[in-house]
Chain A
Amino acid sequence: MVEQLSPLGPVWKPGSYGNLSRGVGVTISEIRPGSIVEAAAWHGSEKKLIAAIAKVTGLKLPDGAGGGVFKNGKGAFGIAPTRFLLVDQAEGLAERLLTVVPVDMGSVVDLSHGRTAIRISGPKAEWVLSKFFAIDFSETAFPLGSGKATVYHDFFTQIQRTAPQAFDLYVFRSFARSFWQLLCHGAEDVGYEVF
């Protein structure tokens, strides 16, 4: 397959920046999963869709709003009633899902090109993200694996906690370059590393 071009272009500059006097506060990287897919069930078919997702990805989505799971580079989390965002390092997840999601169960949309995935990790990840988003990033309010959809001005973002100190952010591709710059700017006070 052909490789996707990163939307970050010249603003992606590996290295260490900002105030590093207290170490590296966060690491920021573009993770480039092969597949980003939105799957949505018709009302009443959520359980069936969750089972279908488990069948294809092996991920068992927990009940409840925003519930999610992240394992072996695969992720799934609720983004809206009956809707889930699914991520896989391998390409072709949308096609695989379509084989188990019939039209009377729900719909599948491939967003592998439409969303850019950015990971921010490190001891100051919550601090940096809190500069932008008015949501509670503490582990009690935002448990491991779960996700939230939120917005900072025009930046609509879906966020999954993929480790105690790591968040994967999904932004619209056309916004990615601006968002990346914003994130780096916001991380200057704690020192950040880009790779």
Chain B
Amino acid sequence: MSPRRSSAGGRVDRTRTIRFTFDGRSFTGHAGDTLASALLANGMTLFGRSFKYHRPRGVMTAGIDEPNALVTLLKGDIREPNIPVTEIEIYDGLNAVSQNRSPSLAFDVGAINQYAGKLISAGFYYKTFMGPVIGPLKGTRFWMFCERFIRRAAGLGHAGTTADTARYERMNAFCDVLVVGGGPAGLMAAKAAASDGARVIVADLEAAFGGTAKWSGDVIDGKPASEWAAELADELAGMENVRLLPRTTVWGYYDGNTLAALERVSDHKANPESGEPRHRHWTIRAKTVVLATGGFERPLIFPGNDIPGVMLAGAVERFAGEYGVLPGERIALFTNNDSAYAAAANLKRAGAMVVAIIDVRPEISAAARELASKAGAEVRLGQAVVAAEGGKALTGVKVRNFEAATGMISGDPASLAVDCLAVSGGWSPAVHLASQAGGKPEWDEALQAFLPPKPTQKWIGAGAFTGAATTASAIADGQRAGLKAAGILAQGKEKLPSVSEPALDPSPAPVLEVRAHGKAFVDFQHDVTADDVRLAHQEGFISVEHLKRYTTLGMATDQGKTSNVPGLAIMADARGLSIPQVGTTRFRPPFSAVSLGSVAGERVGHIRPDRLTPMHDWHVEQGARMYAAGLWYRPMIYGAPGETVEQAYVREAKAVRESVGIVDVSTLGKIAVQGPDAAEFLDRVYTNLFSTLPVGKARYGLMLREDGLAMDDGTTWRLGENDFLMTTTTANAGKVMQHLEYFLDVVWPELKVHVTSVSDQWAGAAVAGPKSRDVLAACVTGTKVDNETLPFMGIVHGEIDGVPVMICRLSFSGEMAFEVYCGAGYGLQVWEALIEAGKPFNIVPYGLEALGTLRIEKGHVTGAEIDGRTTARDLHLGWLLSKKKPFIGSAMMDREGFVAPTRLQLVGLVSLDGRPLTGGAHIVENGSAEQLGQSIGHITATCYSPALGKYIGLALVRDGKSRHGKRAVISDPLRDRFGPVEIVNHIFFDPDGSRMHG
């Protein structure tokens, strides 16, 4: 056993040895140790190098407030930087390395920075690197030169470059009462709230519940406080209506009493269990929150207060009490308040030698005196530490007389040889979550601390969070808060545990700084000194918000948990104001560092759904190259071996023109529009009339937005008098649905119309080509498919292979074509039957590329042309604009700018140099790679047209109609594509439509 480890006491299991590595060296610790306690037990004092000056730093706290001792954890190739050693539970095989040092922690060349301290004080970057270039060593350009050196020298650990393979997840939870903090107050609150069946969640950021009870040495109900707390936590764990969340930091308090928490599920394990995440993000919606978050101890500011071995008194006490580790062999305490006396007594009990207690106050309470004598410590009242001495470890302190009221130092210095100085500047309630919830913390002069604001959301405070200084008051407070939170009327008969603890004075002296010569640190992690704060004041950055940004005080990963109040006190003193007059910054989430993985959850892989059509597996089996269209997967081409994409789609498109092809159109948006007012409704949302559409027929329709621009197009089928099936483009299915719902709910609630998404109800296959009717005739039963029974835009019902189908004769390709719809669960069966029936006609399945080619040849528009900027007339769809009725967009569509001749209009383009056109390229009248020219429009779609034997495209070109037959040039400098084109009518192929009507 290490000499620093006591033989008994604390909650570490001395029978279980755990092996881990720090900076390549092997160490052992015990089950229950943190990396901090285990390394301290091994006599380690040096844990890291500081941010700016590379000063040696040790561990300062025992918890989440740790500013100094940050390390990088290595797990395989994964590295996670900037984790406080106080938050790491050790496990066999743990591998940690120190940060911000080179080449090693003990010998760090960057430490030279501390001798250049005057040069790199607060505002160094602003003063040196901003503004005009007035010499070689100033200005923004100089920054660009220096940046890489500075980035390497200043800072924390660096992140890894390998993908994080750990599993993360998110969880939603609802409860009546959320208790944040599992100390005596929180546990009592949870027990009280749960007593009547309320659903309670208790979250504590530590591995074990109990808070200060784990090490305080108090006696509760006749047993050690740690035992009392463990039993109470066990009792709660056994209750069905209580959920205990250890290792869970509640880090955000949002609107609607919604709280965010991070549970470190398996960080403390060598290997997580199957399916177990590393971190779990909790979104908790609580009817009432009990904030029992305790408080943070503040350091005192004096020269050398960052030397390894200078620690917070509560932390030293905790290492001894909870882990059985003595951080020093000769310990002195330096305090402005009584709490350090309890720490001294507890240290003595744990076996430490307590040399002295140095107290800035001239007098102390009787209880404190008694504790000091228990500790066997010399009490030095009215004195202060004016310097801590040592390099990589504390060797001693210098003490002089100190007048608390004036800060005057006098008398000869006394030297004390100590290797650990435990300091206490009093306590600040952890008001972070209350501040996030809304409301300004309020300064309490007696406690010298900001207390929680009045609640602006539903929370109740308890324990040290409210400023309560004793365990007894925390317990009573907790019970009261728990009952109130659960809405239980306190009968006054609830028994409170009895507590035996010293009766200490809760008020500290209003002293946080001892001004003497040397660097005295306020924000340890960002190396902000007391002089930096005064420099900010001197240079006019006197508001707390400016102070924070100018010095970076409180902006490190610890978010100023130890530095906030001392920093304000120094600024207040400099300005001659009181602390509340200077004010405090608002706390914002997160309360402490949050892993990005937990926020993202499982948003890789599975989280982006793949929408699949009923025929998806068939496409894949046939070698289709699938293409993500929004969430949908659609075949791009069905490539034969050795075929290029162009060869494949040309083959497929040609087959459609020459014989027959089949394409999966299941992705089209489909909306059931039903009700006695359905036809009237469609008349209002489409530009053309649908009330005149006979049952059993379909019609092509166009929708505009309110502003008169085109929104979407598609066919709508009248299946019955009051029953329509609307189709939309694949991409706009959701948008159109929302558009319809908006008008039915908000604008025309009197219309009796229901709209329901049936996109997934129907599988769709378009059979297109001169032989398409023959294919249907070969497999459809129950109806004829001849021209009389099934004319253009007609609908029939029949069966294919015993499956009921609905067939509409409409064409996107320009060929005679039919869309065959059936229940999605039958989609594959019908598809295969159509393929089978098509075999004698050499039916070819075709993908999106061929579909696009066929529609470009016909000049049909899609989302590339209906781009939110084009009008119906721009797209030559003016014939769809009914003059017989108003419709959505009709009032705005004829505005001046929408009918101007300079509008971009849809045209066709033919490549004159025999090379492919590029989508998105600009069209110019004259231009070249050297002289790009003035854009007159852009290309929306391109293909090789097998029907024309040319590369063609569609484009939106200014005054395009009048340019038919004229030449222009495409100008695409990004892809280095320039060349002549001819502007033509947008319908390249079969302009009179004889093929589809035939």
Taking a contact as CB atoms under 8 Å apart, the answer to whether A130 and B171 are in contact is yes
Question: CA separation between A106 and B761, bound complex, in Å?
Answer: 20
Q: What residues of chain A lie closer than 8 Å to B676, measured between beta carbons? A: 103-104
Q: Which of A2-29 contact B (CB under 8 A)?
A: 2-7, 9-10, 18-19, 21
Taking a contact as CB atoms under 8 Å apart, the answer to whether A109 and B672 are in contact is yes
Interface string of B147-181 (1 = CB under 8 A from A): 00000000000000000000001111110000000
Segment with Cβ contacts to A, from B47-55, B406-414, B602-610:
B602-610
Taking a contact as CB atoms under 8 Å apart, the answer to whether B275 and A138 are in contact is no
Question: CA separation between A103 and B677, bound complex, in Å?
Answer: 10
Q: Which of B247-282 contact A (CB under 8 A)?
A: 273-277
Taking a contact as CB atoms under 8 Å apart, the answer to whether A2 and B826 are in contact is yes
Taking a contact as CB atoms under 8 Å apart, the answer to whether B170 and A113 are in contact is no
> CB-nearest residue of chain A relative to B258?
A134
Contact residue among B171, B172, B611, B754 (Cβ-Cβ distance under 8 Å from A106) = B754
Say whether A185 faces chain B, with CB atoms less than 8 Å apart: yes
Taking a contact as CB atoms under 8 Å apart, the answer to whether A174 and B169 are in contact is no
Question: CA separation between A117 and B304, bound complex, in Å?
Answer: 68
Say whether B904 faces chain A, with CB atoms less than 8 Å apart: no
Q: What residues of chain A lie closer than 8 Å to B666, measured between beta carbons? A: 174
> CB-nearest residue of chain A relative to B199?
A138
Q: Which of A174-195 contact B (CB under 8 A)?
A: 174-175, 177-179, 181-182, 185-191
Say whether A154 faces chain B, with CB atoms less than 8 Å apart: yes
Say whether A111 faces chain B, with CB atoms less than 8 Å apart: yes
Taking a contact as CB atoms under 8 Å apart, the answer to whether A38 and B756 are in contact is yes
Taking a contact as CB atoms under 8 Å apart, the answer to whether B609 and A175 are in contact is yes
Instruction: Tell me the smallest distance from the CB of A12 to a CB of chain B, in Å.
Output: 12
Taking a contact as CB atoms under 8 Å apart, the answer to whether A5 and B606 are in contact is no
> CB-nearest residue of chain B relative to A45?
B752
Q: Which of B732-775 contact A (CB under 8 A)?
A: 749, 752, 754, 756-763
Instruction: Tell me the smallest distance from the CB of A145 to a CB of chain B, in Å.
Output: 20
Taking a contact as CB atoms under 8 Å apart, the answer to whether B275 and A189 are in contact is yes
Q: What residues of chain A lie closer than 8 Å to B749, measured between beta carbons? A: 43
Q: What residues of chain A lie closer than 8 Å to B617, measured between beta carbons? A: 9-10
Q: What residues of chain B lie closer than 8 Å to A177, measured between beta carbons? A: 610, 612
Taking a contact as CB atoms under 8 Å apart, the answer to whether A130 and B611 are in contact is no
Chain B CB within 10 A, most for which of A173, A186, A187, A188: A173
Taking a contact as CB atoms under 8 Å apart, the answer to whether A130 and B173 are in contact is yes
Question: CA separation between A174 and B760, bound complex, in Å?
Answer: 6
Taking a contact as CB atoms under 8 Å apart, the answer to whether A155 and B675 are in contact is no
Say whether B802 faces chain A, with CB atoms less than 8 Å apart: yes
Contact residue among A6, A7, A185 (Cβ-Cβ distance under 8 Å from B602) = A185
Contact residue among A133, A175, A190 (Cβ-Cβ distance under 8 Å from B172) = A133
> CB-nearest residue of chain A relative to B827?
A5
Say whether B364 faces chain A, with CB atoms less than 8 Å apart: no
Say whether B708 faces chain A, with CB atoms less than 8 Å apart: no
Q: Which of B799-839 contact A (CB under 8 A)?
A: 801-803, 823-829
Q: What residues of chain A lie closer than 8 Å to B675, measured between beta carbons? A: 42, 103, 107
Q: What residues of chain A lie closer than 8 Å to B762, measured between beta carbons? A: 113-114
Taking a contact as CB atoms under 8 Å apart, the answer to whether A172 and B760 are in contact is yes
Taking a contact as CB atoms under 8 Å apart, the answer to whether A174 and B611 are in contact is yes
Contact residue among B170, B171, B722, B754 (Cβ-Cβ distance under 8 Å from A40) = B754
Question: CA separation between A107 and B720, bound complex, in Å?
Answer: 12
Counting chain B residues whose Cβ lies within 8 A of the other chain, the interface size class is 35 or more
Q: What residues of chain B lie closer than 8 Å to A40, measured between beta carbons? A: 754, 756
Q: Which of B640-690 contact A (CB under 8 A)?
A: 666, 672, 674-676
Instruction: Tell me the smallest distance from the CB of B9 to a CB of chain A, in Å.
Output: 34
Q: What residues of chain B lie closer than 8 Å to A179, measured between beta carbons? A: 609
Q: Which of B431-469 contact A (CB under 8 A)?
A: none
Instruction: Tell me the smallest distance from the CB of B988 to a CB of chain A, in Å.
Output: 34
Interface string of A80-118 (1 = CB under 8 A from B): 000000000000000000000001101101111111000
Say whether B283 faces chain A, with CB atoms less than 8 Å apart: yes
Contact residue among A2, A18, A103 (Cβ-Cβ distance under 8 Å from B722) = A103
Question: CA separation between A181 and B606, bound complex, in Å?
Answer: 7
Taking a contact as CB atoms under 8 Å apart, the answer to whether B632 and A19 are in contact is no
Taking a contact as CB atoms under 8 Å apart, the answer to whether B760 and A115 are in contact is yes
> CB-nearest residue of chain B relative to A140?
B199
Interface string of B168-209 (1 = CB under 8 A from A): 011111100000000000000000000000010000000000
Q: Which of B595-626 contact A (CB under 8 A)?
A: 602, 606-614, 616-617
Counting chain A residues whose Cβ lies within 8 A of the other chain, the interface size class is 35 or more
Contact residue among A113, A185, A188 (Cβ-Cβ distance under 8 Å from B824) = A113
Question: CA separation between A6 and B632, bound complex, in Å?
Answer: 18
Chain B CB within 10 A, most for which of A9, A114, A190: A114
Say whether A131 faces chain B, with CB atoms less than 8 Å apart: yes
Taking a contact as CB atoms under 8 Å apart, the answer to whether B632 and A113 are in contact is no
Say whether B631 faces chain A, with CB atoms less than 8 Å apart: yes
Q: What residues of chain A lie closer than 8 Å to B826, measured between beta carbons? A: 2, 4-5, 113
Taking a contact as CB atoms under 8 Å apart, the answer to whether B632 and A174 are in contact is yes
Given contacts A19-B276, A109-B672, contact A2 B609 (CB under 8 A): no
Taking a contact as CB atoms under 8 Å apart, the answer to whether A4 and B823 are in contact is yes
Instruction: Tell me the smallest distance from the CB of A144 to a CB of chain B, in Å.
Output: 18
Taking a contact as CB atoms under 8 Å apart, the answer to whether A173 and B609 are in contact is no
Q: What residues of chain B lie closer than 8 Å to A2, measured between beta carbons? A: 801-803, 826, 829
Question: CA separation between A4 and B803, bound complex, in Å?
Answer: 10
Taking a contact as CB atoms under 8 Å apart, the answer to whether A178 and B609 are in contact is yes
Q: What residues of chain B lie closer than 8 Å to A21, measured between beta carbons? A: 273
> CB-nearest residue of chain B relative to A172?
B760
> CB-nearest residue of chain A relative to B667?
A174
Contact residue among A10, A104, A114, A178 (Cβ-Cβ distance under 8 Å from B760) = A114
Question: CA separation between A154 and B760, bound complex, in Å?
Answer: 14
Question: CA separation between A133 and B283, bound complex, in Å?
Answer: 11
Question: CA separation between A112 and B761, bound complex, in Å?
Answer: 7
Taking a contact as CB atoms under 8 Å apart, the answer to whether A4 and B613 are in contact is no
Question: CA separation between A154 and B607, bound complex, in Å?
Answer: 9
Contact residue among A4, A155, A189 (Cβ-Cβ distance under 8 Å from B609) = A155
> CB-nearest residue of chain B relative to A177?
B612
Question: CA separation between A118 and B614, bound complex, in Å?
Answer: 17
Q: What residues of chain B lie closer than 8 Å to A133, measured between beta carbons? A: 172
Question: CA separation between A113 and B830, bound complex, in Å?
Answer: 14
Taking a contact as CB atoms under 8 Å apart, the answer to whether A112 and B823 are in contact is yes
Question: CA separation between A186 and B167, bound complex, in Å?
Answer: 11
Instruction: Tell me the smallest distance from the CB of A190 to a CB of chain B, in Å.
Output: 7
Question: CA separation between A10 and B617, bound complex, in Å?
Answer: 9
Taking a contact as CB atoms under 8 Å apart, the answer to whether A131 and B760 are in contact is no
Question: CA separation between A42 and B751, bound complex, in Å?
Answer: 9
Question: CA separation between A121 and B276, bound complex, in Å?
Answer: 20
Instruction: Tell me the smallest distance from the CB of B749 to a CB of chain A, in Å.
Output: 8
Taking a contact as CB atoms under 8 Å apart, the answer to whether A7 and B614 are in contact is yes
Taking a contact as CB atoms under 8 Å apart, the answer to whether B606 and A182 are in contact is yes
Taking a contact as CB atoms under 8 Å apart, the answer to whether A19 and B275 are in contact is yes
Instruction: Tell me the smallest distance from the CB of A175 to a CB of chain B, in Å.
Output: 5
Interface string of B770-809 (1 = CB under 8 A from A): 0000000000000000000000000000000111000000
Instruction: Tell me the smallest distance from the CB of A40 to a CB of chain B, in Å.
Output: 5
Taking a contact as CB atoms under 8 Å apart, the answer to whether B828 and A130 are in contact is no
Instruction: Tell me the smallest distance from the CB of A13 to a CB of chain B, in Å.
Output: 15
Given contacts A107-B754, A113-B760, A114-B760, contact A131 B610 (CB under 8 A): no
Question: CA separation between A5 and B169, bound complex, in Å?
Answer: 32
Instruction: Tell me the smallest distance from the CB of A193 to a CB of chain B, in Å.
Output: 14
Instruction: Tell me the smallest distance from the CB of A28 to a CB of chain B, in Å.
Output: 14
Q: What residues of chain B lie closer than 8 Å to A181, measured between beta carbons? A: 606
Chain B CB within 10 A, most for which of A103, A174, A179: A174
19 chain-A/chain-B pairs, Cβ below 8 angstroms: A2-B829, A5-B829, A7-B612, A7-B824, A10-B617, A19-B274, A107-B672, A112-B825, A115-B760, A131-B172, A133-B172, A138-B199, A154-B631, A175-B609, A178-B609, A182-B607, A186-B169, A189-B273, A189-B274
A-B pairs, top 9 by smallest CB distance, nearest first, are A4-B825, A188-B275, A114-B761, A189-B275, A178-B609, A113-B823, A136-B174, A19-B274, A113-B824
A-B contacts besides A18-B275, A107-B754, A188-B275, 18 pairs, CB < 8 Å? A5-B825, A5-B826, A6-B825, A109-B761, A111-B756, A111-B758, A114-B762, A130-B171, A138-B199, A172-B759, A174-B760, A175-B609, A175-B611, A178-B611, A182-B602, A182-B606, A189-B273, A190-B275
